Structure 1
Amino acid sequence: MSTLTHDPAARTAPAGNSQDARGSRQTGPRPRLSGTAWLVWRQHRAAFWTIIAGTVVGVIVMVVLRGQMTDYLSTLEPTQKKPGSAPPEFEKYGDVMTDIGGYLSYFPILAGVLLGAPFVAGDLESGTAKLVTSQSVSRLRWLSMKLAMPAALVALSTGVLGAVFHWWWSPVKGLVTQADWSSSSIFDVTGMMPVAYALLTFTLGVAVGLLLRRTLVSMVVTLGIVVAIAFVWGELRSSLGHIMTVSTHQGVGPGARQPELPDLAIQQGQGTYFLTGSGDRLDWMTCVDKMDNDKAHTACLESKNVVGWSMDYLPFDQMATMQWLGTAIMLTTTATIVTFIVIWGRKRLL
């Protein structure tokens, strides 16, 4: 008498589509994180899920707001869709857009202070790093995963948010007058700039945490450095472009027209200069002490051979080039910081 030891159905069922004894369907093995990748995800899953959720919410909000804006634009006449011609009612859409852009510009600070600074410092302070590396995980492998996984998530999140914001801003870049394209609420949150900026501050926070080895102290120091970087970057941003000049030679008296800038151009310097016949430029305060007397003021300007006005500006078509140059500077700095982290971590991690 034979005994049935195998289920015929299980033997004939195709791979990846078998059934257990209770009849429930089982699929093939699903890809799962393992090793240090699983450890890093498990350890910081709350922060990772917060970034993912914030990205999804941000995308949804911008898509909805863009839909409302385009619906309003469809009701306008063609003449009202030109730069500087939008009706006052459009200002509320511009206000919301610049507010959202301002919120997005804070992402690099959050990436450095709340994510980068405590990411390694917390493990060093609590002893988790020593416990992990005392197992079969090398220092370099653990540190590489601690950098790679959050950096990839930060890059993906900022890239998506930046792309959606640019998609929202592009149709109305000439109509939104609340912030010009060189401001942080536009320039720093479109193109590749948000990715490069956030990666820079994140890796900087990790480096500070690696050196100081205390979570709270690392966060405070990182905040100070990131704020300093934001100030320096604000001063440096405009210098990435090539300043152009427009001039007039029809005098400066009554009826004379000042230079007109191209659409979306950003005026640079102190404003309008007086232009002399020799091509020199004088400060607009020249002869200001004689402004009360028209004849004296005109005579003063004529004595200095003033023939017109001159104005410096940055054209809009330089925006992309300036962003790529800024991105290159930040990514190069980021690569330098990562190199330092790897070298320092291999020798003096614990």
Structure 2
Amino acid sequence: MKGSLWLAWRQQRVSAGIGALVLVLAVVIAAYSRSGMQDALHSGLFDHCAPGPLHCSRSATGMPLTLDIEPLQYLGALNIVLPVIIGVFWGAPLLGRDRELGTHRLVLAQGASRGQWFASRFALAAATTIALSGLLAGVFAWWWQPAADRSYGLFWYETTALSGSGPRVVAAALFGLAAGTLLGLLARRVLAAMGLTLLATGAMSLLLLWMHWARLLVPPHTYVSAGIAPKPLMGEKWSTGTYGLITGSGRHDDVMNCAFPSGAQLKECMTAHGYVARFYKANPAGDYWTFQWTDTAILGGLAVVLTVATVLLLRRRL
């Protein structure tokens, strides 16, 4: 390692060391907590619990019976805010600090081109970001496995699982790095770049979370049962909260038009209004990967666009 790459390592080794420390801490906590989960599951305490959204209760008290998933949710939350942290504290100073201090001129005067100066810094930061985010996502998946989609655990559609796991964590981290790097190049001060990066990455994270809940990117499926036949079980599906009734012409009406769970009253009401079936809308468990790859494509695509924009602006801004 020499030249501009050696200098890039010198400047980024503290950030890389902090990331490694966070990863080691996450692995230790995950190993300890997952071992506790396994012991609880092997004790037989949860043997009577069925999978599904309904809480499992203690036979003696009737109180909900759950595994200790709070530390797991903290890791999911960390993975969600990882692009903000990386963008603000790594991406924004990556080029911005040298530009603010003017030290990039010294580097360029030593014979390194603008492209080499940028490539050495960004490549090292991107490789470290991929490794850190990928390993954190892997730790989450391993830790989550005993409690995945169980009444006593964590369902796939809960925010910390859906947005804090899988390949979208890596794409989001790269987006944060790319956004911070571009804003560090454009802003006159590193502190201003950090503030702008916080706004940009935070807004993007919140926008995707809202899109998940609104089902804008992955539309829900419609599950229909004829007449008053029992509706398909919700199970591991992510309900939209939309339930209703279907007329013979195919019109969908609100469920409150016949607010009876079952039996003769429901049948009479449906007959009187001309309803022939009931329905609800939900995303099946298989949509977890659809959400994942959709987010990954969006965030990864934005990371590429922002990186290309940074390369194109290097000559103008330096």
**If the TM-score is normalised by the length of the shorter chain, which range does it land in?**
0.7 to 0.9
The corresponding residue for 2:305 is: 336
Residue 333 of structure 1 and its aligned partner are, at CA, apart by 1.6
Residue 298 of structure 1 and its aligned partner are, at CA, apart by 8.9
The corresponding residue for 1:271 is: 242
The corresponding residue for 2:25 is: 57
Residue 167 of structure 1 and its aligned partner are, at CA, apart by 1.1
Query: Mind listing any 5+ residue stretches in structure 1 that lack a counterpart?
Result: 1-32
3-state DSSP of counterpart to 1:316: coil
The corresponding residue for 1:27 is: none
Query: Does the Cα contact within 8 Å between 2:166 and 2:292 map onto a contact in 1?
Result: yes
The yes-or-no answer on 1:203 pairing with 2:182 is no
The yes-or-no answer on 1:305 pairing with 2:263 is no
TM-score, with structure 1 as normaliser: 0.79
In the TM superposition, what whole-angstrom CA distance separates every residue of 1:171-209 from its partner, at most 9, and x where no partner exists? 221225675423331122222111001001110111111
Taking the TM superposition and a 5 Å limit, the aligned residue runs for 1:1-350 are 33-76=1-44, 78-80=47-49, 82-83=51-52, 84=54, 86-87=56-57, 90-175=65-150, 180-237=155-212, 238-251=215-228, 257-261=230-234, 263-268=235-240, 270-286=241-257, 302-345=271-314, 347-350=315-318
Residue 104 of structure 1 and its aligned partner are, at CA, apart by 2.5
- Whole-angstrom distance in 2 between the partners of 1:318 and 1:82: 18
Q: Percent identity?
A: 26
Structure 2 letter corresponding to 1:206: T
Greater Cα shift, 187-196 or 177-186: 177-186
Change (3 A) 1:65 1:297: closer
Query: Mind listing any 5+ residue stretches in structure 2 that lack a counterpart?
Result: 58-62
Aligned residue pairs total 306
Q: Higher RCO, 1 or 2 (CA under 8 Å, sep at least 6)? A: 2
Change (3 A) 1:36 1:119: same
Query: Does the Cα contact within 8 Å between 1:105 and 1:188 map onto a contact in 2?
Result: yes
Residue 85 of structure 1 and its aligned partner are, at CA, apart by 6.4
- Whole-angstrom distance in 2 between the partners of 1:150 and 1:304: 63
The corresponding residue for 1:20 is: none
Change (3 A) 1:320 1:300: closer
In the TM superposition, what whole-angstrom CA distance separates every residue of 1:208-246 from its partner, at most 9, and x where no partner exists? 111113111111111111121112211333444352111
The corresponding residue for 1:6 is: none
TM-score, with structure 2 as normaliser: 0.86
Query: Does the Cα contact within 8 Å between 1:111 and 1:202 map onto a contact in 2?
Result: yes
Structure whose alpha-carbon radius of gyration is higher: 1
3-state DSSP of counterpart to 2:255: coil
- Whole-angstrom distance in 1 between the partners of 2:71 and 2:22: 18
